[in-house]
């Protein structure tokens, strides 16, 4: 089922905030889910293959090794899920399967050899028309032939879809209509104004309608918030160099220390503290730890950095935190529906740009902004990230990614403040700037879309 223009947005809030595993939602979380879906499809056919082979193509092969895609696929083939898997067990899989490739599979076992998770070189598939820049082909071999094959596309934020579906294939008609339907930001703002509430109120009311009670979403948001805070704490306790050989040192704890020791100008301290939190999250992500997509792993530090700092400083209660998360989620839903949150599809504007807009909107609301000001904060945040390319050095989600999140924090703060204190009406709507993001992404050359073949990714030797 494909979403038609004007159909209500039915993305679920907790799909934007998936608890998973670093370092990449599209290269780690998505492939793990796809591998598990392939396994389930085999089991539904009562198929226990002799061995399983996986071809990774496009951005999954270009940067997948640095993003841990092979480990994620191995974990998914075990039936493990991003939210609940043991982090250390996932990282141990290549070594474990090299020694013993047997994987429990229904009532039997199959064989998953690390060398059968293949990062194809561009020349090996360049004549193919890939269904998506992040494509994985799963094959079940039995008796010397391929018994079953399935292709999955990882479309950003941990979302996966089969080929043939268009970019709205994640859309499903809801079991019951949303209480307050909206299809774009204009209709979302109108719905919020009609009930005298926030963008988050609209989203939370729709979630309650679909869940049958407000409890399920609230419990899910509590888990997300706990995961944000736990990730920040782990990141702040860790020291040293991140894995991957790029020589990137962790610096979240150091920055926070400087804030707490008063070395940082007090006017800048809240931003610096939020940046320290963002560093902590992104460093955990880069180390393959447990993080929450917000809306992706690469951009996972901005929303928790801004919101956890604001919640601590302003003493936000649980309801205010839920509402802020729902407002941030609303912005993510709009971008996911009308453009993309995938670096492989539209570059980093879709990841860091979207996360910055989500944080800006939520912060503007926390500081008292009305729905139009909240929209404007998100618009400013995206507008000044338009054209941002994705060029991770060595395919690692470290440079420029980690510092880019810290800059996203600062931009989110500025966007919220600019919107709150603006004396002129905005000339560009959020809906319009999201459409521009999509067109800019469509025009962007492949080298700048999570392939590590352009920009900073190829300039390191000159530095
Ligand atoms: S540059 Fe941006 S989009 Fe690319 S991997 Fe890093 S955070 Fe993600």
Give the residue, by CA position, lying nearest to ligand 1 atom 4: 390
Give the residue, by CA position, lying nearest to ligand 1 atom 3: 348
In a domain, 220, yes or no: yes
Residues 359 and 228 in one domain: yes
Pair 43, 106: CB distance under 8 Å: yes
pTM: 0.92
The atom of ligand 1 lying closest to the CA of 67 is 5
Range of the structural domain that residue 383 is part of: 185-462
In a domain, 172, yes or no: no
According to the model, what pLDDT value does residue 177 have? Answer: 84
Residues 233 and 126 in one domain: no
Going by their DSSP bridges, the two strands 159-161 and 51-58 should be labelled as unpaired
Residues 89 and 212 in one domain: no
Residue 292: what are its φ and ψ, rounded to 5°? -115, 130
Residues 344 and 419 in one domain: yes
In a domain, 167, yes or no: no
Residues 52 and 124 in one domain: yes
The atom of ligand 1 lying closest to the CA of 296 is 8
Find the CATH number of the domain harbouring 70.
3.30.1330.90
According to the model, what pLDDT value does residue 213 have? Answer: 77
In a domain, 444, yes or no: yes
- Testing ligand 1's pocket by substitution, the residue of 157, 158, 397 carrying the most ligand atoms inside 8 A of its CB is 397
Of 136, 156, 176, the residue that ends a domain is: 156
In a domain, 166, yes or no: no
371, 373, 377, 380 alpha-carbon torsion, rounded to 10°: 120
According to the model, what pLDDT value does residue 3 have? Answer: 66
Q: How many domains does the chain have?
A: 2
Query: For ligand 1, which residues put their CB under 6 angstroms from it?
Result: 298-299, 343, 348, 351-352, 390-392, 397, 400-401, 404, 450
Ranges of the chain whose pLDDT falls below 50: 167-171, 462-463
The 3-class secondary structure across 378-431, one letter per residue, is: HHHHHHCCCCCCECCHHHCCCCCHHHHHHHHHHHHHHHHHHHHCCCCCCCCCHH
State pLDDT tens for residues 157-189: 899 999 976 544 444 556 678 999 999 999 999
Report how far residue 9's alpha carbon sits from residue 5's, in angstroms, rounded to the nearest whole number: 10
Residues 127 and 216 in one domain: no
According to the model, what pLDDT value does residue 460 have? Answer: 64
According to the model, what pLDDT value does residue 165 have? Answer: 61
Is the alpha carbon torsion for 440, 385, 184, 177 positive or negative? positive
State pLDDT tens for residues 47-73: 999 999 999 999 999 887 888 999 999
Cα(343) to ligand 1 centroid in Å equals 6
Of 108, 135, 156, the residue that ends a domain is: 156
According to the model, what pLDDT value does residue 66 have? Answer: 82
């Amino acid at each position: 089922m494909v979403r038609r223009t004007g159909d209500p947005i039915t993305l679920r809030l907790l799909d934007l905030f998936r608890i998973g595993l670093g370092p990449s939602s599209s290269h780690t979380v998505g492939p793990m889910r796809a591998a598990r879906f392939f396994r389930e499809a085999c089991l539904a056919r009562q198929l226990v293959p002799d061995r399983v082979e996986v071809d990774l193509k496009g951005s999954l092969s270009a940067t997948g090794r640095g993003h841990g895609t092979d480990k994620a696929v191995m974990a998914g083939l075990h039936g493990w899920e991003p939210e609940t898997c043991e982090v250390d067990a996932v990282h141990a899989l290549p070594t474990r399967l090299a020694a013993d490739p047997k994987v429990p599979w229904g009532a039997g076992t199959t064989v998953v050899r690390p060398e059968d998770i293949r990062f194809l070189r561009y020349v090996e598939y360049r004549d193919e028309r890939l269904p998506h820049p992040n494509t994985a082909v799963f094959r079940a071999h039995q008796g010397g032939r391929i018994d079953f094959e399935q292709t999955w596309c990882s479309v950003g934020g941990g979302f996966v879809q089969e080929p043939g579906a268009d970019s709205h294939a994640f859309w499903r008609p809801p079991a019951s209509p949303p209480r307050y339907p909206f299809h774009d930001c204009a209709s979302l703002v109108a719905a919020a104004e009609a009930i005298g509430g926030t963008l988050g109120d609209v989203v939370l009311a729709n979630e309650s309608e679909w869940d049958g009670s407000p409890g399920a979403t609230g419990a899910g948001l509590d888990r997300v918030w706990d995961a944000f805070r736990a990730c920040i704490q782990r990141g702040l306790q860790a020291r040293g160099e991140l894995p991957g050989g790029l020589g990137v040192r962790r610096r979240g704890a150091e920055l926070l220390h400087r804030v707490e020791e008063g070395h940082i100008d007090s006017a800048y301290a809240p931003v610096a503290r939020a940046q320290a939190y963002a560093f902590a999250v992104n460093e955990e992500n880069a180390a393959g730890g447990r993080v929450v997509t917000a809306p992706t792993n690469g951009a996972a530090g901005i929303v928790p950095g801004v919101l956890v700092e604001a919640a601590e400083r302003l003493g936000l209660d649980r309801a205010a935190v839920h509402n802020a998360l729902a407002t941030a989620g609303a912005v993510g839903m709009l971008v996911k529906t009308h453009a993309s949150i995938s670096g492989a599809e539209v570059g980093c504007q879709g990841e860091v740009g979207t996360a910055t807009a989500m944080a800006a909107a939520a912060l503007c609301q926390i500081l008292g902004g009305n729905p139009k000001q909240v929209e404007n904060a998100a618009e400013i945040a995206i507008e000044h990230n338009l054209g941002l390319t994705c060029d991770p050095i060595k395919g690692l989600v470290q440079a420029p990614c980690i510092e880019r999140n810290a800059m996203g924090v600062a931009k989110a703060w500025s966007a919220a403040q600019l919107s709150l204190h603006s004396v002129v009406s905005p000339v560009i709507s959020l809906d319009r700037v999201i459409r521009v993001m999509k067109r800019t992404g469509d025009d962007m050359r492949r080298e700048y879309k999570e392939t590590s073949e352009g920009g900073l990714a190829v300039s390191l030797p000159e530095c």
